[in-house]
Amino acid sequence: MGMSKAKIYYFTLQDEQTKEEKLEWFEQTRLEQIPFEHVTPDRKQNWVNLTDNDFDDFLPLI
């Protein structure tokens, strides 16, 4: 039996919201209503705080 890859879906609330506002949002929002974004990991399998950079192409200085 082959293994299938996991799919990653992500959603974040605004940082400016208070704890109470976030908790109220969770209380009032159904899972089906959350606008999740499908995330594809980068070459190193990172998927949190994805950035478009070229750090791997830089020359080591030390």
Average pLDDT score, the chain: 81
Mean pLDDT for the stretch of residues 31-48: 84
Mean pLDDT for the stretch of residues 19-45: 90
Higher pLDDT, 44 or 53: 44
Quote the pLDDT of residue 28.
95
Q: Phi and psi at residue 3, in whole multiples of 5°?
A: -95, 140
Mean pLDDT for the stretch of residues 19-26: 94
**Three-class SS state of 37:** strand
Entry pTM:
0.53
